[in-house]
Chains A and B, each alone.
Chain A
């Protein structure tokens, strides 16, 4: 490293934003619109944890009574991701609601094909928020893109009365009022807020486990003021979620130079133009991580990032590229720390990059665990059980 870079990095070890440049708090307008009868603000209820955000505003993260806004890609292609979120919440004893009255945020399609518009996107968001309020549970957003997009929708609705009116007219046909949550909360914020409680339930030792973190673009780049930044993590210069949890669990978080780069998902590219996705994911992320940090596992906190960084490695291996590192969400990582079964809960058989050496590093006998899962599948096949239940996974 050259001397000038060293100097710059030293200056940036701790970052304090000047108060004169702080943006306003959106809550002022949010509550003003409620007072004027424009919408209902769904309040964060006790118990909650207060966490710091990028510009210093304190954000309330509810601990319990959560309405799980699920993710298309997690549920469809990485089901151990969603299962781990539920499992950790159950283990910590917090109640939740897993709704059928929930649609996708539809933002993957919005960013991929543009076959939508701001009215439809806002109506989809507020239909889901209204559905959550009807149950009395508070929305917890699983997907980083849903989280980012819902923040965009909130900003547009705060700014544009004509959009509010369009959405109000549509929701009136559904018999629903306009509802906006007091905070839009991503599941990784819940894991960050709960990291000490999670660590208190840790049964597997993560000493000597090296991780790299890929922060998800739509979590912290879209409407960045909502994202959690902690002065004690990266000097407050990168989002603290994922890293804060990994450190609380005793893992060593290693940095790498392309941390700001996206994963290469591309929304449309991952589905119909994957040469770009594979190239970017391997050359700008995985290979750089391997060369500069040599992690045991890559942790991230969004649907598309897990898929892209995991699945892109197979083709690159055929070209003898420097790849070959497991990728998972920090929810699965936390579940493993708390003793979750790698297949019954974390469902790692849906992943592509070889995770078995990593399980061995944690002292998990993956062959025995796989035999247990296969026995479950045989029971399902013979009709002895219809589904694997929460009781079964902890048997």
Chain B
């Protein structure tokens, strides 16, 4: 199908480089090649039910319908534009899966985001600015957030209770009856062996390599942590 020039956002929404058509086509092929793709798109009635249910559509210039339609029409130029401008606005709540056609626009966006990460797209680098510490936390400790992240300067909009928690953190964690919750730098006490097994998964599945494309510094830190621990355990990654 012929491409449409659906430039529905102004050109200055985000700064990203224009690339050749064959690059856009390759990125689109990567989206379609994902094993989840055939289960996420069946066509589009253009009914707009997904948009009506979408939280991001209420606050951003964003539409899950446009995502599904662009991919269904194989409009590689528009899909590239969406990968640079739209996909990080999605809330990943999956309210859009009430689609009467059985589409999963949120799932399509998950795939598009992964392709954006794997190819180091500008939108991916921008989206992950300020997020590196979270990736570091989940990949290195096995829990996504920790009690010691509750700092007033990080969450000034969450009220004075954040400072109370921060000031009393060690004592309040010891005041929790479950024995696994006495931690401050992880959500719970993750066993050493368990963590090493997680490192093997990150390495074997290629996830650690994904980080290299968008944050070389973070990749270097994580690689060193994981390889040191695996070497200590005598595990050949």
Contact of A352 among B142, B159, B178, B202 (CB under 8 A): B159
A83 → chain B closest CB, angstroms: 6
Q: Residues of A contacting B98 with CB < 8 Å?
A: 221
Interface 1/0s, chain A 258-293, versus B by CB < 8 A?
A: 001110111111011010101110001000000000
CB atoms of A261 and B143 under 8 A apart: no
B66 is an interface residue with CB less than 8 A from chain A = no
Closest to B204 in A: A170
Whether A120 sits at the interface, judged by CB under 8 Å, is yes
Whether A380 touches B59, Cβ cut-off 8 Å, given contacts A111-B110, A120-B207, A159-B39, is no
Cβ contact within 8 Å between A76 and B93:
no
A268 vs B144: C-alpha distance in the bound complex, in angstroms? 12
A337 vs B114: C-alpha distance when bound (angstroms)? 45
Check if B122 is an interface residue, CB within 8 A of chain A.
no
Residue in A76, A124, A266, A279 whose beta carbon sits within 8 Å of that of B149 in the complex: A76
Quick check: B210 and A124 within 8 Å, CB to CB? Answer: no
* Contact call A260/B95, Cβ cutoff below 8 A: yes
* Residue with the greatest number of chain B CB neighbours at <10 A, chosen from A123, A373, A390: A123
Closest-CB distance, A54 to chain B (whole angstroms): 12
Interface size class of A (residues with CB under 8 A): 35 or more
> Within 8 Å CB of A264, what residues of B?
55, 91
* A232 contacts across to B, CB distance below 8 A: none
Chain B residues lying within 8 Å of A115, measured Cβ to Cβ, are: 117, 128, 135, 207, 210-211, 214
Surface stretch bound by A, among B5-13, B69-77, B150-158: B150-158
Q: Is A366 an interface residue (CB 8 A)?
A: no
Chain B 15-42, CB-CB to A under 8 Å as 1, else 0, gives: 0000000000000000000111001000
Q: Which residues of B contact A278 (CB under 8 A)?
A: 157
Q: Which of A317-363 contact B (CB under 8 A)?
A: 344-345, 347, 349-352
Are A100 and B190 neighbours in the complex by a CB distance under 8 Å? yes
Interface size class, chain B: 35 or more
Chain B 116-135, CB-CB to A under 8 Å as 1, else 0, gives 11000000100111110011
- Check if A108 is an interface residue, CB within 8 A of chain B: yes
Q: Is A376 an interface residue (CB 8 A)?
A: yes
Interchain CB contact under 8 A, B171 and A104: no
**Residues 61 to 119 of chain A near chain B (Cβ within 8 Å):** 70-77, 79, 82-83, 86-87, 98-104, 106, 108-119
Instruction: Report B64 CB to chain A, min CB distance, Å.
Output: 13
Task: Decide if B161 touches A351 in the complex (CB within 8 Å).
Answer: yes
A222 at the interface (CB under 8 A from B): yes
| Nearest CB of A to B117, in Å | 5
Complex-state Cα separation, A263 to B129, whole angstroms: 24
CB distance from A320 to the nearest CB of B (A): 16
A170 touches B116 (CB 8 A): no
- Find chain A residues with CB under 8 A from B128 CB: 113, 115
Chain B neighbourhood of A347, CB < 8 A: 176
**A75 to B94, Cβ gap below 8 A?**
no
B94 touches A221 (CB 8 A): yes
Q: Are B145 and A77 in contact (CB under 8 A)?
A: yes
* Contact for A70 among B35, B146, B188, CB less than 8 A: B188
The answer to whether A388 has its CB under 8 Å from any CB of chain B is: yes
Complex contact A114–B110 (CB within 8 A):
yes
Cα of A280 to Cα of B60 in the assembled complex, Å: 11
Task: Name the A residues within 8 Å of B36 (CB-CB).
Answer: 118, 156
Contact with B along A145-160 (1 / 0, CB 8 A): 0001000000110011
Q: Which of A106, A265, A393 contacts B144 (CB 8 A)?
A: A106
Beyond contacts A112-B134, A221-B95, A388-B176: 10 other A-B pairs, Cβ-Cβ < 8 A, are A72-B144, A77-B149, A82-B178, A98-B178, A113-B134, A222-B97, A269-B91, A272-B130, A280-B55, A349-B165
Which residues from chain B sit less than 8 Å from chain A, CB to CB?
A: 34-36, 39, 53, 55-56, 58-60, 88, 91-95, 97-98, 110, 113-114, 116-117, 124, 127-131, 134-135, 138-139, 142-147, 149-150, 155, 157-159, 161-162, 164-165, 168, 171-182, 186-191, 193-195, 197-198, 200-202, 204-207, 210-211, 214
User: Could you list 8 A-B pairs, sorted by A, with CB under 8 Å?
Assistant: A72-B143, A98-B179, A100-B190, A160-B35, A264-B55, A265-B93, A311-B159, A352-B161
